[in-house]
């Protein structure tokens, strides 16, 4: 899958779930529930114990149609290992220029967490196509509008504090997509399937 195919898929779906867990089994169960709910773009974080083994297992277990990305990537070494084991995009809590270079080398999307205008412009200078506004709970939808004043073409994906109650506000503010963690990925299989469908229905409704 090419870089812009991934970005287009993120935009079309409108949401990237953040998957954490205490084991590979828990992470896999979360992934399967999200897929059953219609979400086939998954950010699997490297905070999961033995994360690289988990990543390998997920690539073997999940359908080929799933776009799997690596989250909480803190350095270029981790980014490369994730890419070599099938990651189609890389997400970081903050911007790192060496990770940006690594992703550019492999022609994969790098989605760094940024908050200030300075961080965002620096990330854009290094070829970042999608900014993870993090933590979104501290910024709010109005901040997206403020960013788009001087940077109207910046693609923004708020993560942290995104929920069903404020989805409409975020998309009305002009976000590219949203990232959702514990507000989406929690509970049992049926809970996550239900929540996934609700998120997708809401996003479709807002965009229409």
Q: Is 57 among the residues known to form the active site?
A: no
d(CA 157, CA 159): 6
Radius of gyration of the chain (CA): 16
| Backbone angles phi and psi of 52, in degrees to 5 | -65, -40
Among 3, 26, 32, 43, the active-site one is 43
Contact call for residues 128 and 110 (beta carbons, < 8 A):
yes
* 3-state SS string for 100-166: HHHHHHHCCCEEEEECCHHHHHHHHHCCCCCEEECCHHHHCHHHHHHHHCCCCCCCEEEECCCCCCC
The DSSP code for 200 is H
Q: Could you confirm whether 9 is annotated as catalytic?
A: no
Catalytic residue, candidates 132, 169, 186, 201: 132
Positions marked active-site: 43, 132
């Amino acid at each position: 899958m090419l870089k812009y195919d991934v970005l287009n898929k993120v935009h079309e779906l409108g949401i990237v779930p953040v998957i954490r867990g205490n084991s590979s089994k828990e992470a896999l169960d979360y992934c399967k529930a999200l897929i059953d709910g219609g979400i086939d773009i998954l950010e699997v974080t490297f905070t999961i114990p033995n994360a690289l083994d988990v990543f390998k297992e997920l690539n073997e277990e999940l359908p080929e149609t799933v776009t799997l990305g690596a989250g909480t990537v803190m350095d270029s070494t981790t980014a490369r290992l994730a890419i070599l084991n099938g990651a189609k995009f890389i997400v970081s809590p903050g911007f790192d220029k060496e990770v940006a270079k690594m992703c550019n080398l492999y022609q994969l999307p790098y989605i760094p967490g940024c908050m200030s205008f300075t961080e965002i412009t620096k990330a854009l200078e290094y070829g970042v196509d999608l900014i993870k506004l993090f933590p979104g709970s501290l910024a709010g939808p109005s901040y997206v509008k403020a960013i788009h004043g001087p940077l109207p073409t910046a693609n923004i994906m708020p993560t942290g504090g995104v929920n069903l109650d404020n989805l409409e506000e975020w998309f009305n503010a002009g976000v590219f997509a949203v990232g959702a963690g514990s507000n989406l990925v929690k509970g049992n299989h049926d809970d996550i399937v239900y929540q996934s469908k609700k998120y997708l229905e809401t996003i479709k409704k807002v965009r229409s």
